């Protein structure tokens, strides 16, 4: 598909300084964005205007020879393809990024720290439920966020705005601005890291758009200052997490498969859950649990090792989540767990048909307010 086949005019054109091309790899396609002063056809013949060209190209149809010549270090929001044949190394003016979600395969609470946070140990796996961010750079110093979910705040209480402001402060660049459109698919306060992933994508995209030149370690540190879960999204698809969440080590899991996510339909406050946690909520210790999780090769093996020591506190704070958990277990998912400090029950599967069958059964029984089957991200091409 040609980018010009889907060309559309910006209603409020951004004053782009350079012609630029960017390609972002998603789960099944490459989204191509370009800001270009180019020819267009109208009643008066050919003219020259600024356009935003947005095309979807099937991965199998993409020119991989050209792709192989491009840099690989564009970060979580996707790989950038800069047309290096253009003069003066043109800059990118807009990006589209997909923000993934996560499940905690294990979440052990080691105790309360002197700074008030809790020391944790967790194995985290990325899964294919995505939010999407469209980000355009401006030079008016303002950060403007819009969202398709009217219930989600778009002021400086949103982690995306906090991430942009934190990056500006860190780099001392008050004139840098951005217009950001957030399309939500990940439920809010669900234990899936939706807001934290949004912030990580915003940091990496704006670092590129603004040319601030920070490496992932610096961006991860900025992320940690606004949310404990933000750093883990710099280590997708899977990681070992420690400290209060800021200590992140990428790891490889032997297992990959499918995850059924079931939503209770209630936002759960992470702060309330941690305040409700008691030392007696700890589970029976399993020697080398994390290491065994990494080596397990089937959904049954992984599921048997999964644990969330916040579950008792979650069920005290939000009893409806406890009811959901029991209902999913009664439906045949003995290894169902709750992810993070949220409302989402998850079940692991090797076979997507089995996952779909349980989803339909839960739907017929009226369990939860919704469910979906997603792929784990530790699979090439996802």
Cite the active site residues.
102, 229
Instruction: Round to whole Å and give the CA distance between 205 and 207.
Output: 5
Please give the structure tokens belonging to residue 146: 């819009």
SS (H, E, C) the chain: CCHHHHEECCCCCCCCCCCEEEEEECCCEEEEEEEEEEEEEECCEEEEEEEEEEEEEEHHHCCHHHHCCCCCCCCCCCCCCCCCCCCCCCCCCEEEEEEEEEEEEEEEEEEECCCCCEEEEEEEEEEEEEEEEEEEEECCCCEEEEECCCCCCCCCCCHHHHHHHHHHHHHCCCCCEEEEEEECCCCCCCCCCHHHHHHHHHHHHHHHHCCCCCCHHHHHHHHHCCCCCHHHHHCCCEEEEECCCCEEEECCCCCCCEEEEEECCCCCCHHHHHHHCCHHHCCCCCCCHHHHHHHCCCHHHHHHHCEECCHHHHHHHCHHHHHHHHHHHHCCCCCCEECCCCCEEEEEECCHHHHHHHHHHHHHCCCCCEEEEEEECCCCCC
| Rg over CA atoms, the chain | 22
Output the six-digit token pair for 119.
């020391």
- Strands 337-338 vs 29-42: parallel, antiparallel or unpaired: unpaired
Phi-psi region of 246 (alpha: psi -120 to 50; beta: other; left: phi over 0): alpha
């Amino acid at each position: 598909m040609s980018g010009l086949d889907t060309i559309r005019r910006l209603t409020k054109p951004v004053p782009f300084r350079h012609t630029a091309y960017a390609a972002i790899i998603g789960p099944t396609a490459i989204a191509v964005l370009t800001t270009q002063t180019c020819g267009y056809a109208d009643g008066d013949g050919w003219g020259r205007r600024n356009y935003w060209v947005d095309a979807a190209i099937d991965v199998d149809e993409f020119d991989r020879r050209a792709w192989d010549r491009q840099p690989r270090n564009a970060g979580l929001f996707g790989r950038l393809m800069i047309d290096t044949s253009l003069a003066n190394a043109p800059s990118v003016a807009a990006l589209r990024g997909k923000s993934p979600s996560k499940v905690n395969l294990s979440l052990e609470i080691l105790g309360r720290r002197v700074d008030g946070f809790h020391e944790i140990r967790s194995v985290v796996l990325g899964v294919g439920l995505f939010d999407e961010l469209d980000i355009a750079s401006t030079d008016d110093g303002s950060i403007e966020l819009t969202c398709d979910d009217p219930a989600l705040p778009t002021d400086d209480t949103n982690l995306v705005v906090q991430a942009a402001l934190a990056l500006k402060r860190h780099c001392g660049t008050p004139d840098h601005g951005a217009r950001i459109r957030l399309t939500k698919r990940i439920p809010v306060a669900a234990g899936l890291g939706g807001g934290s992933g949004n912030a990580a994508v915003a940091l990496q995209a704006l670092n590129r758009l603004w040319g601030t030149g920070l490496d992932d370690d610096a961006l991860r540190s900025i992320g940690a200052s606004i949310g404990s879960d933000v750093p883990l999204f710099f280590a997708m698809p899977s990681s070992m997490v420690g400290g209060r969440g800021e200590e992140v080590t990428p790891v490889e899991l032997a297992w990959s498969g499918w995850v059924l996510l079931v939503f209770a339909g209630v936002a759960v406050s992470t702060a309330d859950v941690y305040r409700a946690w008691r030392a007696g909520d700890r589970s029976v210790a399993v020697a080398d649990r994390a290491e065994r999780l990494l080596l397990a090769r089937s959904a049954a093996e992984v599921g048997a090792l999964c644990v969330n020591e916040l579950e008792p506190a979650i069920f005290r704070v939000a009893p409806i989540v406890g009811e959901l958990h029991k209902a999913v277990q009664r439906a045949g998912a003995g290894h169902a767990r709750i992810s993070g400090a949220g409302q989402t029950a998850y079940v692991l599967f090797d076979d997507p048909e089995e996952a779909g069958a349980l989803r339909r059964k839960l739907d017929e029984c009226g369990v939860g307010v919704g469910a979906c089957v997603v792929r784990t991200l530790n699979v090439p091409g996802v």
